[in-house]
Structure 1
Amino acid sequence: MVKMRRASLLLHRRSALASFAGLAAGLGAGRSAAQPRGWSRQVTDLLGRQVTIPAQPRAVLLGEGFQLLNLALVHPDPASILIGMGGELKRVAPILDADYRRAFPALSRVPELTAAVGQGFSAERALALRPDLVILSAWQANSEEMRRVVALLEGSGVPVIYIDIFQQPGRNTVPTVRLLGAALGQEERAEAYARFYEERRDRILRRVAESGRPGPRVLFSAFAGRWPCCWSPGTGGGGGEFLAMLGARNVAEGLINNPRGGTLAAEQVLLSGAEVFVGTGIYLPGEGTGIQVGPGAPADAARASLEAVLRAAEFATLPAVGARRAHGLWNAFNGAAINIVQLEALARWIRPELFGELDPAATLAEINARFAAVPYEGAYWTSLG
């Protein structure tokens, strides 16, 4: 009896998925018929998958709500094409989320498929929203659950592309911007930002290569004061990749086996001889844990929070703190295409002899003036010195 009941439930689930699939395919065909002829694009996503997008997307589903920030760099009205997205933006950047909802009131009517970072969503719910393009982050491909969802979406005729900034920002930010531009028919806007980014990044890379000298020893501590001591990037990931681009010596290298990062013991931190300290954080109004930087963060509170974190025993005696070469940085730069600002800030802090004239604040102001749909306001970084 139990086996028969399970079989009945499985049959019902498969029938429901088939119905959703048929509905999505039919709706997709209807949208394509209304599109101008000849629009179809074939793109290669950040996992190397070739994907055909038959018509200019008008119903986009974002698997990660934070990617709204990147979508908004290449599309003048992202809310006009969104029919669903992850819901984590309001939890990691509540002030920026509120700013977007004020600028684009239609966002308040966009269903949220998830409630926290790292969550997946069901194929049934996604198909019920009738997307004509689904945009996922590359890290979501690591989930067996999400791979099944993607197979069902694609089997229903819904194109799915993977973008990536979080896992390899140095390598993948510009390709992601260009991919979004191609997929959405916003190539001109995407290319303008890509060139803006490349010009600044390449200037830094050239100068580091020409110097021929190694940089200082750097401790990069994610969510310092919020997480137990001390999560640090390895040779890959956001912080580690940028440290390598600047020729810095990452104190975690050789101590962490995972290139994306891992935990250093307090004793390892104390013995690291770090000459520069960079801790990341986020600003959650009224909460006050860790380094308080990010959208809406007051500059004085950001500085005070860094000073408080650095009083911890594992940090207080570091050479970096004694020399006042200690800094705080918005953690979410790691997943945002505006991370060129992060790279410039790190370059100025880590290699001042090469990049003393860099002005990341001016770069952020130019992004706000030329590219951002909603301005980035607040203290996104802070320093002791």
Structure 2
Amino acid sequence: MKPSSLIGALIAWLFVAAAAPVAAATITVHDIAGRDVTLEAPVKRILLGEGRQLVALALLHPHPASLLVAWSADMRRQDERLYDLYRAKFPLLDRVPFISRGSPDTFSVEQALAAAPDVAILSGGYGPSRRSDDVVHKLEAAGIPVVFIDFVEDPLTNTVPSMRILGRLLGEEARAEQFIAFYQSHMDRITTRLAAAKPAPPNVLMHAHAGHMECCNSPGRVTIGAFIDIAGGHNIAVDVLKQPAGRPSLDETMARGQLSLEYVMARDPDVYVGTGGLHLQALGGLVLGPGVDPATSREDLAKVVSKPGLDGLRAVRTGRVHGIWHLFNNVPFNFLAVEVMAKWFHPDLFKDVDPDESLRELNSRFLPVPLVGTFWISLDPKPAERGR
């Protein structure tokens, strides 16, 4: 063969090799339920048991909608604005069928099987959980591997391994490790400084879904309440709400989280933190989230703490009243909630920490659909209380 012909053949081979799809390899992942799951990766057809985990996929894959063959409607039902933003960015989402309205009891195994996914990624936040033995058995009996991740029940323990699992499933290990390093650096900044300074933790009332029901629903040390301790506060709910044996589901946790107004008034917390979201817009509660104006959230927050009983709390009298997006409980970038609360609890210790800048970096480096709106808010201290 002439040298020119040999070079041409080599170039042609390189083009073919570059264009060829990446061959699937058999891998074994250890999921957050403690199960070893063997499957072929990278996966191309995904069933999402919790729709909001689309955000986690989007952190790692440039076209997450192209991977979905079925998902839950919880994002559409509880955060329609975020859902619309992802639909606008990824129009393919309109072609992906919903197989659940966003709860374990509405999950259709028949529709899941008809979608023929390569893997079912379940988390238990708003869909089948690790306690859904019947669903898991039926999927696995049909040859569909089931992998559990979690950003809800135990976010401090499970966020990093969940992202690492997704990286392996998608063949995006390097991207996953980049995000994990970013995430861990922000968490370490808070925990290292608190460990060195050892400041006294303020007593904190976390009022979940603020303004929706009578005072006060509070999550204890699970779900979004898990971020209080690591941010240097003491959650007054943990003194009376004991976590059930084992790992409770989201519904079980929230059902056991009611504090009486009398208890809250007696504890007279130093800091009030209400959680809110777009799901409270029609319910008269604290509205936070994508596209929300800060003035709207601040007005909502002021209304919540003006109610009898709350209005006389030390936190309200001294202006330490704050609101935070409840969906930080469902996403891998929950470090933002930790940064924000650390500044609220220990403003002098963390005066150089800028959660707004952290959010900008998250948007520019990792999120294909930037978070733009109001995700945390504070009331200004009353004039007589300024400077205290």
Tell me whether the two structures share a fold, i.e. TM-score over 0.5.
yes
The unaligned stretches of length 5 or more in structure 2 are 1-19, 245-252, 381-388
CA contact (8 A) 2:55 2:331 kept: yes
- Is 1:326 aligned to 2:321, yes or no? yes
- Is 1:90 aligned to 2:85, yes or no? no
Q: Residue 356 of structure 1 aligns with which residue?
A: 351
**Residues in 1 aligned to 2:281 and 2:320: alpha-carbon distance in whole angstroms:** 28
Name the % identity.
Answer: 39
CA contact (8 A) 2:187 2:335 kept: yes
CA contact (8 A) 1:273 1:319 kept: yes
Q: Residue 30 of structure 1 aligns with which residue?
A: none
CA contact (8 A) 2:265 2:309 kept: yes
Rate the CA distance shift 1:117–1:309 in 2: closer, same or farther, 3 A: farther
The unaligned stretches of length 5 or more in structure 1 are 1-33
RMSD: 1.8
Helix, strand or coil at the partner of 2:285: coil
**Residues in 2 aligned to 1:357 and 1:329: alpha-carbon distance in whole angstroms:** 20
- CA shift, 1:372, in A, is 0.6
Q: 1:271 aligns with which of 243, 249, 266?
A: 266
Q: Residue 148 of structure 1 aligns with which residue?
A: 134
Q: 2:335 aligns with which of 316, 329, 340?
A: 340
Q: 1:243 aligns with which of 228, 239, 253?
A: 228
Q: 1:168 aligns with which of 140, 154, 176?
A: 154
Q: Residue 283 of structure 1 aligns with which residue?
A: 278
**Residues in 2 aligned to 1:288 and 1:226: alpha-carbon distance in whole angstroms:** 6
Q: Residue 12 of structure 1 aligns with which residue?
A: none
Q: Residue 252 of structure 1 aligns with which residue?
A: 237
Q: Residue 97 of structure 2 aligns with which residue?
A: 111
Q: Residue 179 of structure 1 aligns with which residue?
A: 165
Q: Residue 308 of structure 1 aligns with which residue?
A: 303
**Residues in 2 aligned to 1:337 and 1:274: alpha-carbon distance in whole angstroms:** 29
For residues 196-211 of structure 1, what are the structure 2 equivalents within 5 Å? 196-211=182-197
**Residues in 1 aligned to 2:111 and 2:128: alpha-carbon distance in whole angstroms:** 18
- CA shift, 1:237, in A, is 2.7
CA contact (8 A) 1:35 1:56 kept: no
AA partner of residue 268 (structure 2): G
Residues paired across the two proteins, number: 350
- Is 1:44 aligned to 2:39, yes or no? no
Deviations 1:63-120 (A, max 9, x none): 1111111111111110011001000101221111101001000001100111234544
- CA shift, 1:184, in A, is 1.2
- Is 1:216 aligned to 2:211, yes or no? no
**Residues in 2 aligned to 1:335 and 1:55: alpha-carbon distance in whole angstroms:** 25
Helix, strand or coil at the partner of 2:267: coil
Q: Residue 113 of structure 2 aligns with which residue?
A: 127
- CA shift, 1:37, in A, is 4.5
Deviations 1:252-311 (A, max 9, x none): 122112365611001011111200000001125963621111111111101110001111
**Residues in 1 aligned to 2:162 and 2:202: alpha-carbon distance in whole angstroms:** 31
AA partner of residue 245 (structure 1): I
**Residues in 1 aligned to 2:280 and 2:33: alpha-carbon distance in whole angstroms:** 37
AA partner of residue 353 (structure 2): L
CA contact (8 A) 2:42 2:168 kept: no
- CA shift, 1:122, in A, is 2.6
Q: Residue 317 of structure 1 aligns with which residue?
A: 312
AA partner of residue 236 (structure 2): V
CA contact (8 A) 2:294 2:374 kept: yes
Q: 2:181 aligns with which of 186, 192, 195?
A: 195
AA partner of residue 350 (structure 2): F
Helix, strand or coil at the partner of 1:271: helix
CA contact (8 A) 1:310 1:316 kept: yes
- CA shift, 1:353, in A, is 2.2
